Chains A and B, each alone.
Chain A
Amino acid sequence: MKRNNKSVMNMVGLAAVVGLLVFSSLSFGEEAYDEGTYGPQAPIVWAKPVKGVVFVHKIHTMDAGLTCDNCHDKLFEMAAGTAEKNADFTMDSLYKGKYCGACHDGQMAFAANTRCTSCHAGVKGYNRLTGAAPQGKAPVKH
């Protein structure tokens, strides 16, 4: 009787946990972002050769269905910020099919020479994303 009681309590506990899981997944209605599957959640922000170029993993993996090995390590090294150290990390290289240009060719994804500001957030975007203070906006002294 005593043992039975305990197992009943276990069953109730398990049901509660399962229920909670099902309920939470139903109520949020979307898959949680898993960095192991989809890559880092924080945007990658390049500063060279021009400041403020933004790459978001979620848009490419979770939303567009790409896997890690679609881009790593052939197009991009795993370590963030490696590409911008290369001298050929330029728009010209992209037009020749390197880096982002492998897909952004106008067929698979929008061409690299269109919709510039989709990826380029500029100095203003760079400061916003990295929390850097905008330069040249010192208060006026009178």
Chain B
Amino acid sequence: MKIDDLEKLENEGAENLPSEERRRFLRFGLAVTGVFVGGSVLSLTSARKAQSDMGPVPATGAFPYKPHYTMVIRQNRCIDCERCLEACAKTNNVPSYGYRTTILQREREIERGAKERVFMPVLCNHCNRPPCVRVCPTTATYKDKKNGIVMMDYKRCIGCKTCMAACPYNARYFKEENRAIDKCNFCYDTRLSKGESKTACAAACPAGVRIFGDLTDYDSEAYKLIHMPDKVVWVLRPETGAMPNVFYMND
């Protein structure tokens, strides 16, 4: 197969490969390095593809959905006041033992041994290639064809929790009341479909951490934020190839 043909194939990610496939790939890798040791470096990635992999933000115009919902998290502004969590729980009837979104915390060493607290809000990343959707045996979880939100059809869910294991972001929990998996759906049923423009968490945030928006609207704050040339934008766990739609930055 030529590289041009290979590029047309969809990346299925490495996490679902059968072990035989892995072994064959490793053997191939060893053979290549054995042949080329001390010689020139062989790149199996074409230069064009490598360029597009430079950052986590897709090229303008390459957003598959309309609207293409996103959340931009200005991480350094988060003070863990947890108003977003309260608003989410209230709006979406989230029980005390689970969460649709939460805030992680860590300490980072900065200059002269001083420590800095970092709060990191996390939620479903509504991936373009969602691993949870791929593994669901009953298609209870699906990616909405129009707006790209990863949704749940509770009636179809058999509670096997395979999607919980597949999710790279730990964004799902089993809701006892529904006997089904529950997760963030960007407040689609509770707010967006009723004409609201923001999710409950974004509306409740007093510090402008969570900016909800549509990437196909080039005038939206979310689009502008992640396309500022002087800011670094990152996503969580890019190596999974899931192409998440929640972007992080400091401002």
Contact = CB atoms under 8 A, between A and B. Distances in A.
A32 B139 CA distance: 66
Contact of B118 (A51, A117, A139): A117
A122 B79 contact: yes
B113 to A, nearest CB: 14
Contacts of B77: 116
A39 interface: no
A3 interface: no
Contact of A116 (B79, B82, B89): B79
B96 interface: yes
B138 interface: no
Given A51-B82, A122-B81, A138 B117 contact: no
B216 interface: no
Contact of A135 (B78, B79, B96, B206): B96
A136 interface: yes
A139 B81 contact: no
Interface residues of B, number: 22
Interface in A89-121: 115-118, 120-121
Contact of B80 (A123, A135, A139): A123
B97 A116 contact: no
A54 to B, nearest CB: 10
Interface in A123-139: 123-125, 135-139
A141 interface: yes
A83 B85 CA distance: 26
Interface of B: 76-83, 85, 89, 96-97, 99, 103, 105, 116-119, 176, 206-207
Contacts, number: 62
A136 B101 CA distance: 13
A46 to B, nearest CB: 11
Given A135-B96, A136-B89, A138-B96, A123 B117 contact: no
Q: Bin chain A's interface residue count.
A: 20 to 34
Contacts of B118: 117
B48 to A, nearest CB: 41
Given A116-B207, A121-B117, A50 B79 contact: yes
A42 B119 CA distance: 24
A33 to B, nearest CB: 20
A79 interface: no
Nearest to B114: A118
A124 B80 contact: yes
Contacts of A139: 97
A117 B79 contact: yes
A122 B103 contact: yes
A125 B96 contact: no
B96 A122 contact: no
Contact of B81 (A123, A135, A140): A123
A137 B80 contact: no
Q: Which of B82, B97, B118 has the most CB of A within 10 A?
A: B82
A125 to B, nearest CB: 7
A120 B207 CA distance: 12
Contact of B96 (A115, A121, A137, A142): A137
Given A137-B96, A138-B97, A121 B80 contact: yes
